Structure 1
Amino acid sequence: MKKRHVGLVAAAAALALTITGCSAGGSSDTPAENTNLSVALSVNGALGDQGFFDDAETGMVELKKLGHNTTTLQADINNPAQWKSNLESLSTGKWDIAVAGTWQMVDPLTAIAAKFPKQKYLIFDAIVEAPNVASITYAQNEGSYLAGVLAATAATDTANFPLSSGSKTIGLVGGMDIPVINDFLAGFKAGAEAVDPSVNVLVSYVGAFNDSAKGYDQAMGMYNQGADVVFQVAGGSGIGVLQAAKDANKYAIGVDSNQNALQPGHILASMEKRIGNSIVLAVQSAQDGTLEWGKTVTYGLANDGVGLNYADNDNIVPDSVIKIVDGFKKQVIDGSVTVPTAF
C-alpha cells in the first residue's frame, strides 16, 4: 500500500508554534486558555482556484469545526484596493486574528498593521515584520526538490512510467518571475540534477496566476519539445498545465493542494504547501497563548509543512519509486543535503 499524507492537524501537539501574548479582538488583554477565537481570512482573490486559496480555506473550515468563529472575505484577484479595504474592515476589533496570505499582501498588511496596532494578524507564505503580526513561510524549495527527483525519475524510467518517452526532459511552468516561484525552481532543478545531471529542465512564466489558457499553451509547448513531466507552480494558471498533461498523454505534478484527481492517471503527485494546516496550528497556538507575535515560523520537510502527496493519482507512482524519493527526503531532513534557495 502506498504511503498517504497525514495532515499537520493530527500532529498539532508535536508541531505547535512558539508564541507569547495573544491579544483578543484588538484588546491588549490575553484570552483565557482554550477560549475559542474569532478568526477572519481575507483572500486576495476568489475561492475555487483548486489550489492556494482553497487550501487556505480548508484551514478556516477546520477551525470552524473546532468551535472558532470564522469568516472569509473574497476579492477580485486584480483589485489591490479591494484587498486592502477588506483587510481594514477586519481590523476594527471584532476579530481576534485577521489572516492574509501571499507576497501580494505584504505591503497592504504592513501599512494596516501599523494603523491598527492592537489588532493581531497572521500572514502565510510571506513575512511582515511588525509586533502584531505572526508570519508563516514554507520551504517550497525543499518540497520542490522532491518534485524534481520524482520528475527526473519518471522522465528516465520508461518501465515504471509508460507515458514517458525517456527524453530526459522535464519542465516547470511558473505563475510569475518572482522570488517565491524561483524558489520552487531552485529546488526542482536541484532534485532533477540529483537523479541525473543530464536531465534538461524547461522553464516558462505565465505572467499571471489566473490565466489557465496561457498555462495550457506553455505546458503544451514543453510537451511538444519532448518534456515527459511538467511541474505547475502557477496557481489558477496551472489548471491549464494539468489539462495539457492529459491532452498530451504525459505527466504533470500539481502544487499547493492535492490536485491529483483533477486529471487522473496523469498527475504523478502534488507538492503541497500545507497552508490550511499551518493556519490551524497557528490559531491553536494563539488559543493556548504560545503564538509569538512579531516572529516567523517556517514549515519544511522536517516538520511536514511541505511534501509530496500521492493520493488519488491512480497509483501511477510505484511504491519502489516512492521509497527512492523518500530516501532523498531523509537526506534533506538529516542535513546531508542542503537544497538551494532563491532567497
Structure 2
Amino acid sequence: MKLKKMAAIAMTAILSTSLLVGCSSNSEEDGKIKIAMITDVAGVNDQSFNQSAWEGLQRAEKELGVEVRYLESNQDADYMQNVETLVDQDTDLIIGVGQKLAPTIEEAAKSYPDQKFALVDETYEEIPSNVKSIQFNAEQSGYLVGLIAGKMTKTDNVGFIGGMQIGVIDTFKYGFMAGVKAANPDAEIQAQYANSFTDQAKGKAIATQMYKNNADIVFICGGDVGTGAIEAAKELGKYAIGVDRDQSDLAPENVLTSAIKRVDVGVYEAVKALSEGNFDGGTTTVYGLNEDAVGIPDTTSNLVSQEILDYVNEQMEKFKSGELTAPKTEEEYNALVK
C-alpha cells in the first residue's frame, strides 16, 4: 500500500509539473512573437491615439500571427512598472504610446539594452539603438481641417482645445491655425488646454464656453477630453472636428471631419518589420500624406460641400509635392502669418 501511495504521489507531482511547464512556456512553444503596448493615462478606449495603436496591434495579430496585449496606465508612475512587467514576461517588442512615455522608454532602453522598444509620437536627439521612433506629420492633417473650418465658419470664429501643452498637441494646433488663416484671414481662433487627456467634463465645459463666445466650430486634440467636447457640440447644435481616428460616429451630424493620424499604420509597420527580422532601432520613421498616414476621412463629404473638398484636395497635393508646408510650432506659425 505504501508503495502504491508513493507511486501515486510521484505521478501527481510529475503531472502537476508538466501542466505548469506547459502553461508557462506556451508562447515559446507556439513560436509566436510577443508584442505589447503601454497606453498613456487616457487608456485604450480613448477614441483617439491609444485606441488607434491597439487597432494596429489587432491587425498585426490577425495578419502576422503575433501575440499582442496592452497594459493601461492610470497615472504617470505606472509607466515604468508596466515596462518592467512586460520585460519580465519576455515581451519581444514593448511599444510606448504617446509623448508622455518618452522619458520612461529612454530610461528603460538603457536599463534593458537587450529589450526592443518602439515609441509613438516622440524621438530623441540620440535615439537608443534598441528604440524605434514612430512620428507623424500631424501638422498636415491639422492644416487640412483648418482649411475646412476656415471655409465653413459662419461666425468667423473657431476654437482649438488641446489635452496638454506638449509638442505633439502643438503640432496639430499650429497646423490647424495656419489652415484656418489660409482659408479665412478674418477668422478669430480661441485656444485653450484642458491639462488632461481623460476629463470629459472639462472638455465639455471648455467647448461650451467657446461656443458661447461665438465659435461655431471647435477642433479638439485631447483623447477623452474630445469626447466631452463633441458632446457639447451635439447638445448645442454646433460643429466639432475630431482627431487621430474618424470620430464622426460619436456625433454624425456634428463632427465635420477629423484630423487623421494613422497610429495604427505606424504600429503595424513596426511590428511587421520586427516579424521579418528588420527591426531598425536607433531610427525614426515619419508618416505623412505621402504615406496615406495623415489626412481627413471619407465621411467628411457627409457635411462638407464638394467645392470645399476640391479646395482641400488641391492643397493636399501641394503638400505631397513639397510646394506647401505647415507650421509645427508657435515660432513657425508666427513667421508664417507675418
TM-score normalised per structure 2: 0.84
Task: Give the aligned partner of residue 154 of structure 1.
Answer: 152
Equivalents in 2 of 1:287, 1:74: separation in Å? Answer: 24
Task: Give the aligned partner of residue 71 of structure 1.
Answer: 69
The answer to whether residue 284 in structure 2 is matched with residue 284 in structure 1 is: no
Q: Is the 8 A contact 2:260 2:294 kept in 1?
A: yes
1:105-149 C-alpha deviation (Å, 9 max, x unpaired): 111111111011011111111114211000001111111000100
Percent of pairs with identical residues: 31
Name the CA shift for 1:65/1:257 in 2 (closer, same or farther; >3 Å). Answer: same
Equivalents in 1 of 2:131, 2:311: separation in Å? Answer: 39
Q: Is the 8 A contact 2:139 2:326 kept in 1?
A: yes
Equivalents in 2 of 1:224, 1:276: separation in Å? Answer: 36
Task: Give the aligned partner of residue 342 of structure 1.
Answer: 329
Unaligned ranges ≥5, structure 1: 1-34, 156-165
Q: Is the 8 A contact 1:36 1:287 kept in 2?
A: no
Q: Which runs of 4+ in 1 moved over 4 A?
A: none
Instruction: Give the match's secondary structure for 2:215.
Output: coil
Q: Is the 8 A contact 2:34 2:91 kept in 1?
A: yes
Instruction: Give the match's secondary structure for 2:278.
Output: coil
Equivalents in 2 of 1:289, 1:198: separation in Å? Answer: 53
Higher relative CO (CA 8 A, sep ≥ 6), structure 1 or 2?
1
Deviates more, 1:51-60 or 1:84-93: 84-93
Give the AA of the match of 1:245.
Answer: A
Give the AA of the match of 1:117.
Answer: P
Give the AA of the match of 2:314.
Answer: G
Count of residue correspondences: 296
RMSD, aligned CA = 1.6
Task: Give the aligned partner of residue 295 of structure 1.
Answer: 283
Q: Is the 8 A contact 2:163 2:197 kept in 1?
A: yes
Equivalents in 1 of 2:89, 2:200: separation in Å? Answer: 38
Name the CA shift for 1:133/1:197 in 2 (closer, same or farther; >3 Å). Answer: same
Instruction: Give the match's secondary structure for 2:189.
Output: strand
Q: Tell me the CA shift for residue 69 of structure 1.
A: 1.1
Task: Give the aligned partner of residue 6 of structure 2.
Answer: none
Task: Give the aligned partner of residue 316 of structure 1.
Answer: 303
Q: Is the 8 A contact 1:270 1:310 kept in 2?
A: no
Give the AA of the match of 1:44.
Answer: D
Equivalents in 1 of 2:84, 2:260: separation in Å? Answer: 30
Q: Tell me the CA shift for residue 93 of structure 1.
A: 6.6
Q: Is the 8 A contact 1:231 1:252 kept in 2?
A: yes
Unaligned ranges ≥5, structure 2: 1-30, 331-338
Residue from 47, 50, 53 that aligns with 2:50: 53
Instruction: Give the match's secondary structure for 2:36.
Output: strand
Task: Give the aligned partner of residue 112 of structure 2.
Answer: 116
The answer to whether residue 82 in structure 2 is matched with residue 86 in structure 1 is: yes
Give the AA of the match of 1:103.
Answer: Q
Q: Tell me the CA shift for residue 320 of structure 1.
A: 2.7
Q: Is the 8 A contact 2:135 2:287 kept in 1?
A: yes
The answer to whether residue 34 in structure 2 is matched with residue 38 in structure 1 is: yes
Equivalents in 1 of 2:32, 2:261: separation in Å? Answer: 26
Task: Give the aligned partner of residue 235 of structure 2.
Answer: 247
Equivalents in 2 of 1:229, 1:127: separation in Å? Answer: 32
Which one has a bigger Cα radius of gyration? 2
Task: Give the aligned partner of residue 15 of structure 2.
Answer: none
Structure having the higher helix fraction is 2
The answer to whether residue 85 in structure 2 is matched with residue 98 in structure 1 is: no
Instruction: Give the match's secondary structure for 1:237.
Output: helix
TM-score normalised per structure 1: 0.83
Q: Tell me the CA shift for residue 75 of structure 1.
A: 2.4
